A = this chain, B = another copy of it.
Amino acid sequence: MDRYLVISSDGHAGPHAADYRPYVDPEYREAFDVALPIQIAATEAAAKSFLVHDINIEWRKGRDYELSGAWDAEARDKVLDADGVAAEVLFPDGVTEMNAPPFGAGFSMSPEGITADLQWAGCNAHNRWLAEFVSTAPERRIGLACIPVLWDVDRAVEGARWAKENGLRGVILPPRWGSHPGYHQSRYDPFWEACESLDLPIHFHSGPAPIEEYFGAMPPPDLDQIPPGAMGIYVTEVAMWLVRPLTFMLWGGVFERFPKLRVAITEGTAVWVPEYLQLLEHRYAETHYAQKLGDYRSHLSMSPADYFRRNVRVGASCMPRREAEMRHQIGVSNIMWGTDYPHPEGSWPITGEQMHTTFDGLPEDEIGAMLGGNAATFYGVDVEKLAPIVARIGPEKRSFQKSA
């Protein structure tokens, strides 16, 4: 094969907020109708304080059709083809396309300000829509079910089974647990067991953070009321909030009890990985500093860093050159490149160009692993089925060779 199999580990899809209605359980449709205008108003307000309206409008100009790929299968495949992407992982969407799932469902699944039943209703609506969307091209679309595991673990196990039976290939969990038990606690074991046996990798997606602390109020105030620096703090801390669930799982011995369970940490950059692994190694190995804390390691047969290397992958969206240069410290086999389409911070519509900036001149097998090989293994992708697509739209390997 003279072209790379490219799998984006980070795509977003969902219908416009109003179009979730038929996917909502009938008993929650009344609530949906009440909540919809509130949700739309809140999204518009967020777009004003959180997003720069002008830049978004500017960026979107002339791209309506391509952006409709957020919910339109044909438009989406055209974008994937142009990007050289054979298959992709699908998270819910959010503010930019006005297509967040109802009732605060999505990849955040805030553990506060909502009831369990409503959050489940929202997640179920999205999962149903996504199962349909995936079925339009199952070989290209790796759909992830939203599972608000914090509320009820048995129900989460059922949700995972439903996802598997309906063609979804992984689950998304809330990265913040509020006052619910953390992910190190044995309470979640039945869910880990289900995901391991159903072969459903677990995902945490970047975004959630204590923005009420940054903005000084919730909902976020108008732009001119936001304390200076709030956004700088957010972009500095957001990856840290994403890594927390992993820290809890690694030390909690989750991968000791469920050695085949897999986790992807998506769109939180990958630059934090080398220092994080060193820290885990150090805290596991050293005994002087922590001797006063007692035995906190004997439930683990290896270092948390070793579980990371074996069980965890990093969804490296819009991966910069620096991360490619750090690939051996991060772990070449732990990196899964992604585009973040259709978000404005993503690589689309200049994905091809960015790929070259990131990977030009690196060894072919390593580029292949990061661009798609690792994801193919992680998701058990049928590479044979994708071969005709790769042959048609995959980036040519020789184009990444350094010119002499």
Contacts and interface: CB of A to CB of B under 8 A. Distances in A.
Given A181-B216, A182-B213, A216-B181, A292 B344 contact: yes
A266 B115 CA distance: 41
A19 interface: no
Contacts of A288: 345
Contacts of A293: 50-52, 231, 234-235
B233 A251 contact: yes
Contact of A294 (B52, B251, B292): B52
A143 interface: no
A93 B60 CA distance: 58
Given A52-B294, A293-B52, A344-B292, A253 B229 contact: yes
B292 A345 contact: yes
Nearest to A51: B292
A185, A230, A275, A294 pick with most chain B CB within 10 angstroms = A294
Interface in A313-338: 318
A295 B180 CA distance: 35
A292 B229 contact: no
A220 to B, nearest CB: 12
Contact of A232 (B55, B56, B230, B304): B304
A247 interface: yes
Nearest to A254: B229
A130 to B, nearest CB: 24
A267 to B, nearest CB: 10
Interface stretch (A71-79, A166-174, A278-286, A364-372): A278-286
Interface stretch (A7-15, A33-41, A236-244): A236-244
A159 interface: no
A345 B291 contact: yes
Contact of A236 (B50, B234, B279): B279
B229 A251 contact: yes
A227 B55 contact: no
A51 to B, nearest CB: 5
Given A227-B252, A228-B253, A237-B247, A96 B292 contact: yes
A248 B284 CA distance: 30
A398 interface: no
Contacts of A96: 292
Most interface-central of A228, A234, A271 (chain B CB within 10 A): A228
Query: When A and B form their complex, which 8 residue pairs have the shortest distance between CB atoms, in order from nearest?
Result: A229-B251, A232-B251, A231-B296, A229-B252, A52-B294, A228-B299, A184-B229, A289-B345
30 contacts: A50-B293, A51-B293, A51-B294, A52-B292, A55-B292, A181-B216, A182-B214, A185-B227, A223-B294, A228-B251, A229-B248, A229-B253, A231-B293, A231-B296, A232-B296, A233-B251, A235-B283, A235-B289, A235-B293, A235-B296, A236-B247, A236-B279, A236-B283, A236-B304, A237-B244, A240-B240, A289-B318, A292-B343, A292-B344, A292-B345
